[in-house]
Every structure is written in C-alpha cells, then in structure tokens.
Amino acid sequence: MSEENKIATEATRLGLSLDVWAVITAFVLALLVRIGVLKHVPW
Amino acid sequence: MATSVAIPREDQNPFASVVRFVPGVLLLAAIGFAGKVLEQSINGYAKAHHLVIPNIEYVLWAIAIGLLIANTVTIPKIFIPGIATYEFWLKAGIVLLGARFVVGDVLKLGGISIALVVLEISGSLFLMTMLGRLFNLKPKLTSLLAVGSAVCGVSAIIAAKGAIDADDEDSSFAIAAILALGAIALVTFPLIGHALHLSDNAYGLWSGLAVDNTAEATAAGALYSDVAGKVAVLAKTTRNATIGFVVLGYAIYWASHGQAEKVKNKGAFLWEKFPKFVLGFLVISLLVSVHAFNKEQVGALANLSRWAFLLTFAGVGLRTNFREMSKQGVRPFIVGALGEVLIASLTLGLVVAANAIWKL
C-alpha cells in the first residue's frame, strides 16, 4: 500500500475522506482571511 | 511510490498522528521555497547584468529539485508521510483557487470544458481499449489504463481498482505508466504550446484535458503561465467531476461478466466517488462572485492557493522515482505512451477547433 493510500485510508478512518479534509482546511483558511486574522499573505 | 512505513495504530493519539507529517511537509516547503528563491535570484542576476536568459519558473525548479533528490538519494523514512500529503495540498489549493474565478468565468470556460471533456473521455476510453487489445494486455489492466488516461490519473485508477476488483499488480502497472507519462508531459507540453503559439487559455485547456494526473496537469499549466495554470485546473477539475460515472460504468461492465461485485446503490456510489474539492472550488468561486471577500482578501486567498501548489509541485518531483517505475515493465508503458500521444493530438485538435469557434 503506498503512503498516499495510507494517508487517504487514515483520513477516512477519522470519519471524513482526504478530499473533505482538504475542503475543510481551505474553508477555515478562507474564514480566517474573511474575519481578518490572515490580513496579508505574501507571495 | 510504495514505501514501508508502519501504519499508525488505532490507539495512537491525534497529536502524534499530525506530528509525523511535519518533517515531510517541511521538506516540501523547503524545496518549493528554494525553487521560488532560485527563480527570483536568477532573474535578479540577469537583470542586474543585462543578460537575456529564459525565465525558468519556480514550478520547474521545485519539480527538478524534488526529482534530483528522489532519484539520487534514499529519502529517510521520517519524511515519507509528510511528502505523501502533496495531494492534500493540491486539493486545498484547488478549492482556494476558486477565488480567482468569478462564476461567469466558470460558466464560460467550464461550459467549453464540459463539451470537450465528454469528447476527450469517449475518445480516450476507445483508444486505450483498442491499444490494450492490440498489445494483448490483461483486460482489467486495460480498463485501469483507460480510466486513468480518460479521467484523472492515479485517483481514478485507485477508485476503479476497488470497483472492478483488479489486481494490485495491475494497478501498480497502470499507476507507474500514468506517472511516468505525466513526468514526460511536464517537459513536452510547454515546448509544444510555445512552438504552436497557443494562447494561455487554449494551452491551459489543452493541459487540463490531456495530462492525466491532477498534480501534473496543474504543474504543466503553471509552467506555461499563471493564467494557463488556472485554466488547466478548471479543465482538469471538470474532468475529475466525471470520475464516478466512468468508474460506475466499468463496475457495471465487470459485474455483468461476473468478475466484480454488483453496485447496489448507484447514487451512493456516485457520491462516494465524486471529488468533493470540486464543490469546494465552486463554493469559493460563488462567494467571490457575490463579493463576500474584498479585493485584498481575494488576493490573500489566491496567494494561499499558490503556496499550497508550491508544496504540491515539490511533492510531484519527490514521488517520481524512475528506478521504481522501470521495475513495472515496458508493455503497459508503451500502450500508455501511444495512447497519450493519440489523446494529446485529439485534445489539441479539439482545443484548436474550440479556439476558432469561441476565441479562447
């Protein structure tokens, strides 16, 4: 089993798929930007 | 790449579970950042000394450094779990990339993408099936190669493997072929795009339609230009959204031949296979379209997306180990390569035709 698969399996074991965890993370970051906690993200 | 890292025990605490990803994620960040610094330093040096040299994007540096490490030294096991998170960063990056599309863009480019994706998937499935038969590959290996090249590379192969009850060996062959061909596409696609003077939108659409794995499609687009990168992600995301339908079709086919379990609840099957990050991307795009974020906040979200992709590109290089791939044998690779050349030609023709009609 590849490490990528192991991580996907482990994410699922926590009740949600890796996809959903990625979406939640992105939404949390978007919320932090929206409420002003993350004001400036340099590139 | 397959590695021997122990799966954590069920009773392992969540903190330890997260901590084990830290070294690898830091390595991804260090490689990605080194790529960014290299691009800026070389450009700065060329500007200061009035030299005219081609701009090599951070994307290529990050992939090249990762490739160099993966193919010259044995990566210590402590880094492996974190390196494997590159797909997580890719998906989070795609959701955040929604900030760079207003709904109108998504509808216009997404509409064109849907039409082309339908043609691309039909053509790819047909071509790969014919080539698999011609080269006498095992039928389920042919199915996996067809799904991988038609929809979304490794994710599609993994999804189809369970649904059609394919061997581990077959899925390893198919994954190795798709990854090797993705690595080749990273070099060849930008060269062809520049040679044909494709516009950013046309090139991005082509990369998203023809490059199989989402990470490589994103990188191939970003290597051409920033705009091409975001269009490639949109086209690739449209392709990814079809994964459930294609895998369901194959599951029903193999079940009707008594070689896979019957799908009991087709609706639940489709939802399970549907990539949820596509919905996340649409939600962020919708929020930006209704001005839920101001201009600075949209810029911040776009930059967060770029940082997530930076980790992804470093991961693409680090997980591409040519020695491991060569162990998988040459026949699936030849079938995959022939199929990819045909699919790339077909999709290029589609994009050129779409460009003539809709002025992309």
Tens-digit pLDDT profile for residues B240-298: 888 888 888 898 888 888 888 888 888 888 888 888 888 999 999 999 999 999 999 99
Q: Report the alpha-carbon distance of residue B182 to residue B351 in Å, rounded.
A: 19
CB contact under 8 A, A43 and B95: no
Q: Report the alpha-carbon distance of residue B18 to residue B12 in Å, rounded.
A: 10
Give the closest of B85, B91, B301 to A19, CB-based. B91
The band of B2, judged by pLDDT with boundaries at 50, 70 and 90, is: very low
Chain A closest-CA separation from residue B303 CA (Å): 6
With respect to residue B10, please indicate whether it lies within any of the assigned structural domains: no
Q: Span B307-333, mean pLDDT?
A: 83
Burial A18-41 (b: 16+ CB within 10 A, else e): bbbbbbebbbebbeebbeeebeeb
Nearest CA to B239 among B351, B157, B117?
B117
Contacting A residues, span 20-39, partner chain B, CB-CB under 8 Å? 20-23, 25-27, 29-30, 33-34, 38-39
Cβ contacts (< 8 Å) between A43 and chain B: which residues?
A: 303, 306-307
CB contact under 8 A, A38 and B300: yes
Q: Span B61-69, mean pLDDT?
A: 91
Cβ contacts (< 8 Å) between B280 and chain A: which residues?
A: 22-23, 26-27
User: What's the gap between Cα B108 and its chain centre?
Assistant: 22
Tell me the three state secondary structure of residue B3.
coil
Question: Is residue B106 pLDDT above 80, yes or no?
Answer: no
Tell me whether residue B227 is exposed, middle or buried, using C-beta atoms within 10 angstroms of its C-beta: 0 to 12, 13 to 18, 19 or more: middle
Position with higher pLDDT, B108 vs B240: B240
Cβ contacts (< 8 Å) between B88 and chain A: which residues?
A: 7, 18, 21-22, 25
Cβ contacts (< 8 Å) between B90 and chain A: which residues?
A: 22
Cβ contacts (< 8 Å) between A13 and chain B: which residues?
A: 10
**What does the mean pLDDT of chain B come to?**
86
With respect to residue B2, please indicate whether it lies within any of the assigned structural domains: no
Tens-digit pLDDT profile for residues B73-94: 999 999 999 999 988 999 999 9
The band of A2, judged by pLDDT with boundaries at 50, 70 and 90, is: low
With respect to residue B72, please indicate whether it lies within any of the assigned structural domains: yes
Question: Is residue B56 pLDDT above 50, yes or no?
Answer: yes
Tens-digit pLDDT profile for residues A22-38: 999 999 999 999 999 99
Position with higher pLDDT, B98 vs A7: B98
CB contact under 8 A, A33 and B300: yes
With respect to residue B207, please indicate whether it lies within any of the assigned structural domains: yes
Tell me whether residue B246 is exposed, middle or buried, using C-beta atoms within 10 angstroms of its C-beta: 0 to 12, 13 to 18, 19 or more: buried
With respect to residue B341, please indicate whether it lies within any of the assigned structural domains: yes
Report pTM. Answer: 0.78
Position with higher pLDDT, B250 vs A9: B250
Structurally, chain B folds into a number of domains equal to 1
Q: Report the alpha-carbon distance of residue B267 to residue B244 in Å, rounded.
A: 10
Residue A13 structure tokens: 């074991």
Contacting B residues, span 94-113, partner chain A, CB-CB under 8 Å? 95-96, 99
The pLDDT of residue B6: 43
Q: What percent of chain B has pLDDT over 90?
A: 40
Tens-digit pLDDT profile for residues B176-235: 788 888 888 988 999 999 999 999 999 999 999 999 888 889 999 999 999 999 999 999
The band of B5, judged by pLDDT with boundaries at 50, 70 and 90, is: very low
Is the Cβ of B84 closer than 8 Å to some Cβ of chain A? yes
Cα B122 to Cα A38, B58, B191, B357, distances in angstroms: 44, 35, 27, 21
Q: Please name the amino acid found at residue B295.
A: K
Q: Report the alpha-carbon distance of residue B98 to residue B82 in Å, rounded.
A: 25
Nearest CA to B28 among B310, B306, B320, B218?
B310
Is the Cβ of B277 closer than 8 Å to some Cβ of chain A? yes
Question: Is residue B349 pLDDT above 80, yes or no?
Answer: yes
Contacting B residues, span 182-241, partner chain A, CB-CB under 8 Å? none
The pLDDT of residue B52: 75
ipTM: 0.86
Chain A closest-CA separation from residue B77 CA (Å): 11
The band of B109, judged by pLDDT with boundaries at 50, 70 and 90, is: confident
Position with higher pLDDT, B191 vs B165: B191
CA angle B351, B242, B256 (to 5 degrees): 125
- Domain enclosing residue B251, as ranges: 22-358
Residue A42 structure tokens: 């340099």
The pLDDT of residue B193: 95
The band of B157, judged by pLDDT with boundaries at 50, 70 and 90, is: confident
Is the Cβ of B68 closer than 8 Å to some Cβ of chain A? no
CB contact under 8 A, A25 and B3: no
Question: Is residue B148 pLDDT above 70, yes or no?
Answer: yes
